[in-house]
Structure 1
Amino acid sequence: MSQQFQPPGNPFAGGPVPPGPGNPFAPAPPVRDNVGLGLAAAAVTAIAAAAIYGGIAGAIESEIGFAAIAVGFVIGLVAGKVGGPNPILGVVSAVFALAAVYLGQIFGIAIIGAEELGLSTTEMLFDHFSLLTDAWNAGKEAMTFLFFALAAFAAFSAAKKA
């Protein structure tokens, strides 16, 4: 009985094969690691999300708590996708989410107040901002802070997972 010699290791490894029709495995995409661009994208997204959130809240004249979670998620997702896996993006996304939810609520109150007082929303925001913050303070409750926390958590988680 004769035995054949088999070399150790992978018998199918003949060296690197360039990607193409003969190789079904494409190389891994390059790692994104642009923290500055991720922070800038998160800031722009936070401003846009705050405006949308406030516009919806002002139009229906009610706060939508679950939309606050969506605001946080979108901010974190954009930061993670654009900036890469840097852990600072999760923390900054959470802070941006808190600011965006607060500004969205203020914008919603400005829309409602502008209708009631016969002013423009811009006048409410720039000339009567202290009135808006007083109205926000008077209307805050435990659920407000719960949705702040959930928005920050959603932003942090989305930035980590993206």
Structure 2
Amino acid sequence: MTQSVPPAQPPAAQQPAEQPLQPQSQPVDATPSSAQQSAEGAPYAPQPGAVPPPPAPGAPYGAAPAPAPVRNNLGLGLVAAFVAAVVAGGVYGAIIGLTKHEIGWAAVGVGFLVGLAAGRLGGRNPVLPVASAVLSLGSVYVGQLVGEAMIGAKETPLSFSELFFQHFDVLQEAWKADADPLTFVFFAIAAYVAFTGARKAAL
């Protein structure tokens, strides 16, 4: 019985080697991405997680501007308060002489003007509020005397200047006779407004 012999196979060395798969080349996009553009435009761009450099000497971060200098001129404040007291007293006296009544808002205005002048020009000196209160008391008192002189000049043959400068003692007696509790309330109002006004105006 005959056996069929399989045909001879060529040796493994003679078999053609399988060609390795070549990776397919991807098309190159000629347009650079936004990340590449930012990297090219900023060669020293900070990396994620990088610590910022310390501030340069003399230029700290968030440096606050220097505060404005505090005004503290006692002499100028006292002069301003005195001038305001004289002017306000004259106006207050004229109002009394014309109306023949003491008006509360006029006393408030005297204290306000005196305190405002002292605080704005004198600054935060602690003497100025106290001085403003004292000067406002004097201003209200002189204003009431001016009002008495104006009323007396209308009712007597004497003029205002004669009553105020030549018969000042008579004028004071007339003021004492006409004074009532409301008169002293006006004093307190003017002093309080002048004290608080000088403190607020200096801020």
TM-score by length of 2: 0.68
Paired residue secondary structure (1:30): coil
Taking the aligned partners of 1:2 and 1:128, their CA distance within structure 2 comes to 92
Aligned to 2:188: 149
Letter in 1 for 2:171: L
1:59 aligns with 2:105: no
Pairwise CA distance, 1:61: 1.5
Aligned to 1:5: 51
Aligned to 1:22: none
- List aligned pairs for 1:4-153, cutoff 5 A: 4-6=50-52, 29-153=68-192
Contact 1:33 1:85 in 2 (8 A): yes
Percent same amino acid at aligned positions? 49
Pairwise CA distance, 1:133: 0.9
**Deviations 1:12-58 (Å, cap 9, x if unpaired)?**
955869xxxxxxx8x65432211101101111110111011101110
Letter in 1 for 2:121: V
Taking the aligned partners of 1:60 and 1:8, their CA distance within structure 2 comes to 74
Change (3 A) 1:123 1:13: same
Pairwise CA distance, 1:4: 2.2
In structure 1, list runs of 5 or more residues that go unmatched: 18-24
* Higher relative contact order, chain-length normalized (CA < 8 Å, sep 6+): 1
Contact 1:57 1:63 in 2 (8 A): yes
Pairwise CA distance, 1:3: 1.4
In structure 2, list runs of 5 or more residues that go unmatched: 1-46
Letter in 2 for 1:107: V
Task: Give the aligned length.
Answer: 152
Letter in 2 for 1:161: K
Pairwise CA distance, 1:105: 0.2
Whose helix fraction is larger, Structure 1's or Structure 2's? Answer: 1
Letter in 2 for 1:156: F
Taking the aligned partners of 1:111 and 1:8, their CA distance within structure 2 comes to 76
